[in-house]
Amino acid sequence: MARTDRGWSPDATDLEWIETTAGQPHPVLLEMEAVAGPEGIPILNRDSGRMLAILAAGRRRAVEVGTAIGYSTLWMALGQGDEGTIVTIDPDTARTARARAFWRNAGIADARISVVTAPALDAFAAAEPALEGPFDLAFIDALKPEYPGYLEAVRPRLAPGAVVVADNVLWSGRTSGARPARDGDGTPELREICRRLSEDPDFLTTILPIGDGLLVAVLRG
Ligand SMILES: C[S@@+](CC[C@H](N)C(=O)[O-])C[C@H]1O[C@@H](n2cnc3c(N)ncnc32)[C@H](O)[C@@H]1O
């Protein structure tokens, strides 16, 4: 542990110990990690995946914006258990076809995960039946400038007590101002979604400093 003015913050030894304690992820998650890096496919950080699985536990209906090859989807599906279902949105069929194969290899029944092949805002606006809700978990991980739009689309589809999770809210230091933002990179919109949820009395919100920043907001029941 390293001492900071806010108490103790974990150092490399602590992080290694946590990794040992957590155990190896499901072998299919490891396969996905192995292909994502070399192919430049952006997937969730492993620690954020573990957190997402915990948040998904006991939540029967989830919606995800941004599937890629289905890594975060699989963490959620494993966390939910056999009764859970997920609707996941991504316009990139090459990626979602690979996701489907990974989910099958992990033993997830096809019926548990539906893929909506469209840009998410279009799919929500078209009132795609699969997106009707109510959902008790929403995971947002697609285009950063569209995050406020995703939240707006998801909000009326949430069940009381639902949890909203959004990845990359630290945006490698750009959201806080630790690093400079670039025009159009989504930094103002990330600030906006964090502010909106934090100031909304209907939600209980925090930002976990794991991975690239995981926002977690629970809609009060
Ligand atoms: C960061 S990746 C998702 C990673 C995935 N959640 C994971 O952790 O395994 C973002 C994905 O958003 C998808 N995407 C791009 N534009 C989109 C849109 N308008 N609506 C939904 N998804 C979109 C991309 O095709 C890409 O696969």
Region 85-108: what's the mean pLDDT? Answer: 98
| Predicted local confidence at residue 10, as pLDDT | 86
Matching residue, tokens 């007590």: 161
End-to-end CA distance of the chain: 37
Residues 136, 60 contacting (CB under 8 angstroms)? yes
Pocket test for ligand 1, best of 41, 51, 73, 90 (most atoms within 8 A of CB): 90
Ligand 1 contacts CB of residue 72 (under 6 A): yes
Contact status, residue 85 vs residue 56, Cβ threshold 8 Å: no
The answer, yes or no, to whether any atom of ligand 1 lies below 6 A from the CB of 90, is yes
Residue 221 has what pLDDT? 79
86 lines ligand 1 (CB under 6 A): no
Residue 8's pLDDT is 80
Is the CB–ligand 1 distance for residue 119 below 6 Å?
yes
Interatomic CA distance for residues 94 and 131, integer angstroms: 22
pLDDT tens, position by position, 199-211: 999 999 999 999 9
Backbone angles phi, psi at 142, to 5 degrees: -125, -125
* Amino acid at site 208: L
Residue 142 pLDDT: 98
3-state helix, strand, coil split of the chain in percent (to 5) is: 45, 20, 35
Can you tell me the distance from the alpha carbon of 116 to that of 90, in angstroms, rounded to the nearest whole number?
6
The pLDDT value recorded for residue 2 is 63
Distance (Å) from CA 90 to ligand 1 centroid:
6
Backbone angles phi, psi at 62, to 5 degrees: -120, 150
Confirm whether pTM is higher than 0.85.
Answer: yes
Residue range 56-64: mean pLDDT, rounded: 97
